[in-house]
């Protein structure tokens, strides 16, 4: 019987965790490489550098004061220790915030999203990744939790496939939250269509499903990726404060004077 995975950090060291991290790294690099500004922040998950391809001069990685996983990795990129629900930044001070699986492992994910909206500048962007409950991985996780509740532990039926502590948020539910906070979804995509296998060998055997799934059942990927922009109602972006001066023609000069 396979041991039950407990924490997020140790899950990302497994074969499916590495497979998912590789896909998410590519998505974060594509999403943030052309986003410009001055200040960018990543909340959680030091195993993934979501700001690696970004060129903003100030980039931080924030980790919780008390790690949720025993022996959590302390990355040398860590610049501050902060609670995601109470960020130490003034209002409208950040241009970009990335949330790799941050919301689903937070005690109050909606409050975290409100805090992100507070610190973002108008037209600032938030990039979010999360596990999709409506996927093969999500269904296996739901089955494991159901078996654990009713006590069916025979043949490893209660073994969870994904991290135990996560409260996974569906992409449609996340869209509703973003809409309530005046965010506009700029792009979204799904990925990781291979079955819920634990070994790298079996995951590689189903590599062809990544192409087939993206074409035939795109919304059932194991993970989703959302980019949203903060809209402020009634705000209008101003152009230059000056106006171009029109070239004035020279005044006509009188050649004769009747007096």
Domain locations in the chain as residue ranges? 8-230
> What's the per-residue H, E or C state across 21-87?
HHHHHHHHHHHHCCCCCCEEEEECCCCCCCCCCCCCCEEEEEECCCCCCCCCCCCCCCCEECECCEC
Q: Given the DSSP bridges, would you call strands 120-131 and 58-63 parallel, antiparallel or unpaired?
A: unpaired
Which pLDDT score, from 0 to 100, does residue 204 have? 95
pLDDT(225) > 80: yes
**How is domain 8-230 classified at the architecture level of CATH?**
3-Layer(aba) Sandwich (3.40)
CB atoms within 10 A of CB 107: 11
What are the distances in angstroms from CA 54 to CA 22, 45, 118?
17, 17, 22
Which pLDDT score, from 0 to 100, does residue 145 have? 81
Tens digit of pLDDT for each residue in 102-151? 999 888 999 999 999 999 999 999 999 999 999 999 999 888 888 777 76
Spatial contact of 161 and 144, defined as CB atoms under 8 Å apart: yes
Spatial contact of 195 and 209, defined as CB atoms under 8 Å apart: yes
* pTM greater than 0.85: no
Which pLDDT score, from 0 to 100, does residue 65 have? 60
Q: What ranges in 77-135 are assigned the alpha helix state H? A: 109-119
Which pLDDT score, from 0 to 100, does residue 72 have? 47
What is the average pLDDT across 229-249? 66
Q: Residue 234 — very low, low, confident or very high, per pLDDT cuts 50/70/90? A: low
Tens digit of pLDDT for each residue in 154-181? 444 447 788 887 788 999 999 999 999 9
Q: Residue 64 — very low, low, confident or very high, per pLDDT cuts 50/70/90? A: confident
CB atoms within 10 A of CB 32: 23
pLDDT(3) > 50: no
Q: Between residues 167 and 221, which one has the greater pLDDT?
A: 221
């Amino acid at each position: 019987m396979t041991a039950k995975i407990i924490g997020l950090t140790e899950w990302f060291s497994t074969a499916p965790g590495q497979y998912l991290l590789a896909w998410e790294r590519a998505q974060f690099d594509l999403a943030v490489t052309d986003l410009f500004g001055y200040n960018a922040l990543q909340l959680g998950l030091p195993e993934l550098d979501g700001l690696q391809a970004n060129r903003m001069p100030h980039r931080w990685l924030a980790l919780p004061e008390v790690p949720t996983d025993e022996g959590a990795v302390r990355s040398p990129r860590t610049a501050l220790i902060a609670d995601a629900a109470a960020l130490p930044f003034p209002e409208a001070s950040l241009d970009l915030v990335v949330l790799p699986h941050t919301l689903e492992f937070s005690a109050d994910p909606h409050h975290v999203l409100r805090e992100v909206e507070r610190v973002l500048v108008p037209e600032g962007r938030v990039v979010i990744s999360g596990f999709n409950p409506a996927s093969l991985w999500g269904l296996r996780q739901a089955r494991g939790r159901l078996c654990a509740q009713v006590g069916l532990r025979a043949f490893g039926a209660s073994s969870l496939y994904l991290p135990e502590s996560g409260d996974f948020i569906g992409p449609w539910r996340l869209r509703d939250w973003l809409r309530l906070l005046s965010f506009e979804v700029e792009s979204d995509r799904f990925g990781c269509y291979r079955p819920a296998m634990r070994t790298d060998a079996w995951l590689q055997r189903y590599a062809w499903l990544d192409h087939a799934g993206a074409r035939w059942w795109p919304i059932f990927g194991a993970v989703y990726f959302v980019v949203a922009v903060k809209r402020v109602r009634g705000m209008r972006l101003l152009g230059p404060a000056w106006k171009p001066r029109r070239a004035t023609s020279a005044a006509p000069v009188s050649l004769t004077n009747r007096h």
